[in-house]
Structures are given as C-alpha cells and as structure tokens.
Chains A and B, each alone.
Chain A
Amino acid sequence: MRLLGATVAMLVLAAFCLAGSAWAKAGHDQPPAKQWIDVELDGSNDYAIHLSVNPRRHLVLQVSKEGFAAEYMTRDVLPEADRVKAKLRGMGVISLRFHPRGPVRHPSIPGCGKWRPTVQPGVVRGTIKFVGERNYTRVKEHRAEASIEEPRNWTCRYGSPFEFDPREGEWTSKFSATGEGFFFLARRYRPGLLKGSPVIFFVEEGEAFETASGRAPLTIYRQLKVPAHTATFDDAHPEHLVVAPPAPFSGTATLDRTPESVFTWEGDLAVRFPGLEPIPLTEPNYGFDYCLREVGCFKQHVD
C-alpha cells in the first residue's frame, strides 16, 4: 500500500512537473484556464473511451468496460483550452480542436448543491487514434461529441466518468497485498449491503514509460473490480485465509501463519488485464495486511 501510494504520488508529481516544464518551454507565462475538455468515444469490443484534458493540460484517455478501467496519461503540448495535441507513445495520437455547439448549461451534480459547473457542449474535429495493447480495443475518429467544462469545485465535475459507491467503504474484513507496481485488495461486506455479491476484488497496476531524459511521457494505470461470491474470500480463520477470485483472475492464494509467527502469502493467484500477460499476485517479497473492521489490522513487512 505504501509502495503503491508512493508510486502513485511520484507519478502524479512527475506528471505535474512535466506539465509545468512543457508549459514554461512553450513560453507561456499566464496560468492555464480552469477548463476541462471531455470527449466521449466508442472503442471496439464494446469498450467505452473517455478522453479528457484537465486545466494543467494532462491528457487522460480512459478505457472502461464492466469492472475494467485503464487510464493512459500523457501531456497536451498545446496551451489553448480548446485545442489538444498529444502522442500516446506508439498507441495513438490526439490532435483536435473544439467547436462549441448549442447553449451553455449548468447541470446539477448529486451532492454538490449550488456548485454547478459551466458546460459548453460541442464537437471536436481532427484526429483521435488509439490502439490498446494487443488491439484489445481501438478507436479512430475525426469528429466526436465533446464539451468544455469549467467546474466551480474540483470535486464537483460533471464530466467525470467514474462513480463511487460510498457503501463500498463499509467492508467487514479486507486483505490487501502490494507488489512492485500493483495493489491487490479483497473486501468482504455484510450480506445485502451491496447489490449482488458480498465480496469485491480489486486490483490496480501501473507503469510509467520514461524517456532518455527521465521524463515520463506516458503513464498507464489499469484497474479491475470484480464482484464475487462469499466462498472466493474464505477468512473464517484469522490465520488461514484463502482467496480464489473469479476470472479474469486465475489460481488461488493463501495467507498462513508459520511456526515462526510470520505470515506468508503464497499460491498461483494471477490477474489478466486486457491485452496483457497474466500478472502474478503472490511473490514472496510482497508485503500485505489483513483487517477486521471491528478489531484492527495486522501487517507483514518484508525485508
């Protein structure tokens, strides 16, 4: 968890630095406008694709389908709020211009009260080309529906594609493991709290592609959230836990206490993200923790 947090923080920081340096290089002294561009696209194989550029000119291409989501983040090299130009390191190019269409709207956002954003609908024209790893999805468009949004509060953004169910924080027990570049989480809930399944498996993986100069022009996060039956997360005994999530996971993993009083996390559990080889989730050097909501947590550190 700490490793993941640090990695994410570093990546975000690096992205901010990149944006800042690119901005300075372009010779622009004024701060960027606080506007977002959002473009909705349909990828092949039923994937939804959402392209957004934030006020700091970070371009994020989000691919999602059911419990899977991936973010490809790079920088937009143009300072104008209505124009975007970026390369996705061999995975595509984005070069477009926004054209307003229709009246400005101020849609309400649940939980945001009076903090209504200003949304200008329109279209983008130019080139949008993206090909996912091993062609798991692709999109090529020269025109798409889009909007420019100016939120009044950073948490109240209309164009945000992901929703969060606050009840997911009400787990009763959870297990998490952190390895190099990934984070795995299993949570159990009271029966009936969530629609469908009382267990949710979550895995996140990230990688950054660096250039020779040390900059990171492309960062990729992949997430997978899979609901499952109770039997897939067997933690009835607090010192013997078995995890066997459904596809796209494969294999099983066990947490056990050894006679050394060390907890081990072993097995052949792996996860397969679209377009990637399976990633093992049980290496010996992975730290992990297990928590019971009403009691507390224990952690196993690894040297």
Chain B
Amino acid sequence: MGRGRLSVIAVGFMVAAVLLAVAGSGEAKLGRAGKIEVQRATTTGVLRLGKERGFRLFLSMPSPRVVLFYAVRIQNLDDDAFSLTYAIYATRNLGDLGHGVVRARFGSLGRASLRFRPGRQVHGDDPPGGCEGGTETAEYGSFAGHLSFRGEGNYFHVSSPRGKAYLLRSPRLRCEKGQAAEPPPRSLRKYVASSPLFHDDDSIALLYASTRSHGRYVGITAMHPEGSPPGADVELGIVDARQGVAIGHGAYLEGFAGTLLTSLPGVHPATATLAPPPPFHGKAAYSEETGAWTGTLGVDLAGLRLPLTGPGYRVHLCVVNPLTDKDGCEFFKTEPPYFERPARLGRVLG
C-alpha cells in the first residue's frame, strides 16, 4: 500500500486495458529443442467512446466472439489517494469481427450494430518473442452504424459509435511451449470478474468476505501490508448475469486509517471491523465466534446500490505476525472452489 500508489496502478490499469491488444511484440526464432504449440489466428478490436459523467467508456472485442462494454472512473479520495470503480458488460458478438462487423445485444441496456471503417494508418508488428509466423497488423479507423447503451439507472448514455478505434489482426503463430497467448475464456463471467490489483502476499491482516446467491457473486477483500501506514487496501468485485449479459462491477481503493481493524494474532475469537471510504458506506463487523458478518456496510456503484453484509456471507480473517508467520496470509491459495478468484487483469479488460 502507500498513498499515491493506486494512482499509478490505476493509470496502468487504463493503459493496459486500452493497449493490451497491441502490446509487446518482437522478432523471434523458435528454439530447436522443446515442444511447439499453435496460437490461433484471431482478431480483436477496441472502440474508445470518450468520457461521460466521469467514466471512461470503451467497447472492446477481446476475441471475435465476445463484446465488452466497460466504464471506468478514477476519483481522488484526497491529495494523493485514489479510488477506481468500474462496470463491465459482456455479451456475444453475433457479427464477424474478421470482416469488421460487430453485432451485439446487451439485453435491455443497449445494442451495437457496427462496421469497422479503416483509416489510412496501419501498423505492423513482428510476432511476439518465442513465436514465429506472419505479421500482426493494427488497422486504425472508426466504426459506423448504430450503438446505444444506457448504464443501469442512466449513469451514462451512449447513442453513437463516435470515437477512435482499431482492429488488431493476429495471424496463426507457431510458438515455443508456454509462449503462445492463452486462448480467450469461454465463459462470459470470466471477462467481468474482478482481478486482484493489490498484492496480498505481504499482508499481515487480510479479510475476505464473499457471498453467492441467485447467480450473483460478491467478494470484498481488505488487506494491510506489512510496514505500511495506517489504512488498508480494499477491493470489491461483483459478478452478475442478466438477459444473457455478464455484468461485473467493482472498486479498488486505498482506505484511510480506521478502514480495517482486527484483533491481534493469536487472539480468539478473532474479530474485525471494516469501514472503507466512498464509494463504500457504513461499517461491517466480523466475529470468529459466531461467524457472523453484520453491520451497515454497503456500496454505491454506478447504477448499483448494494448492502455488503448479511447471513449469506462467508468470511475469512487472517492476522499474522510478520516474524512468526513468514508466509503471510495464504488462504487464497488453499481455498476450495467457493472462492471465485478472479482472472488476470488483462483477461478482464482485454
């Protein structure tokens, strides 16, 4: 943790989201030894829709068969601390992205019927390291057609596909084992699941509360890294599905002093209270004795107001001494499948 770190992370988050598809390439020759794997040819694309009510809006096609609409907002909590909130909507592309066509329905929230219009700018890149094959080309241009999208509760409204766009065409590549890009996930939920932004490896106090009911997953993590000033890093991820659309909401922030208070290591029954700053409100309390997660804690996200306590929550609390338990809080690594440990950042926004 550390004030201002989130700002750097947040900027990285944005940049990664936008540039992931055209990231990293370099000429490479395959080694003679070792096995070869094939990276399938694919087309991806991005349409930047600008900013509305503080949200940066993007339409992203991380694979030919998936369309994501996402909104990201970064806000100052104080002079050098930030919070990041997002909403991601994932649905299937019914068009042929290889021919620049996007056709998607986001349930009652909106729809897209677009055709890519290439501009004059084309950029070619050698295959990424460890792979060989044809040239990857990025075509820059715009999309024409119809796009309408309303965030839940009208927190934003897009009615035109205006904005800069590009399509990235990656040829079939032969790669050394382990060098090929992972195939895109099949499940739409994985595209909208939150990704860990903060490292929990060096946390000496870590609280994780999660619930899953009626297809909605909610997970909140608060952690205090060893040696850091008062406060805690907080991550919230919500995964939902409606009308064939996977919807993800979430928040990341660096909480001030008082955000996470816990009993000390070795104290049983262990207790904790969580009171993060906005977009959260209220306070939650955990008691190891009863296993209860109670209180007024809730969150106000774009188009979503949600209580974050209740009997359906499972809570894990880890408070360790940095000397006597050098491995820190490791329960994320050993949890049963109930944990919906999110996908990598690039997968979510890519």
Contacts and interface: CB of A to CB of B under 8 A. Distances in A.
Contacts of A303: 3, 229
A261 B272 CA distance: 11
Given A239-B321, A302-B229, 9 more contacts: A257-B264, A259-B264, A260-B231, A260-B257, A261-B224, A296-B326, A298-B323, A299-B226, A301-B228
Nearest to A301: B227
A96 B231 CA distance: 60
Closest 4 CB pairs of A and B: A298-B322, A259-B261, A261-B205, A261-B224
Contacts of A295: 323-324, 326
29 contacts: A239-B264, A239-B265, A257-B264, A258-B230, A259-B261, A259-B262, A259-B263, A259-B264, A260-B224, A260-B230, A260-B231, A260-B257, A260-B261, A261-B224, A261-B260, A261-B319, A262-B228, A262-B229, A295-B323, A295-B324, A295-B326, A296-B322, A296-B326, A298-B227, A299-B227, A301-B227, A301-B228, A302-B229, A303-B3
Contacts of A258: 230
Interface of B: 3, 204-205, 224, 226-231, 257-258, 260-265, 319, 321-324, 326
A8 interface: no
A257 B224 CA distance: 12
Contacts of A259: 261-264
Nearest to A260: B230
A290 B324 CA distance: 12
Contacts of B230: 258, 260, 262
A295 B204 CA distance: 16
Contacts of B261: 259-260
A288 to B, nearest CB: 10
A295 B321 CA distance: 12
Nearest to A297: B323
A238 B326 contact: no
Contacts of A300: 227
Contacts of B321: 238-239
Nearest to A287: B227
B224 to A, nearest CB: 4
A238 B226 CA distance: 14
A243 B264 CA distance: 21
Contacts of A301: 227-229
Contacts of A260: 224, 230-231, 257-258, 260-261
Nearest to B263: A259
A159 B339 CA distance: 68
A290 B323 CA distance: 9
A139 interface: no
Contacts of B224: 260-262
A299 to B, nearest CB: 5
A12 to B, nearest CB: 28
B222 to A, nearest CB: 11
Contacts of B324: 238, 295
Nearest to A292: B323
Q: Which of A239, A257, A260, A302 has the most CB of B within 10 A?
A: A260
Nearest to B3: A303
Contacts of B226: 298-299
Interface string A250-268: 0000000111111000000
A257 B263 CA distance: 10
Q: Which of A259, A295, A302 has the most CB of B within 10 A?
A: A259
Nearest to B271: A259
Interface string A270-303: 0000000000000000000010100111111111
A239 B325 CA distance: 12
A258 B228 CA distance: 13
A292 B231 CA distance: 26
Contacts of A296: 322-323, 326
Nearest to B272: A259
Contacts of A238: 321, 323-324
B262 A261 contact: yes
A290 B227 CA distance: 11
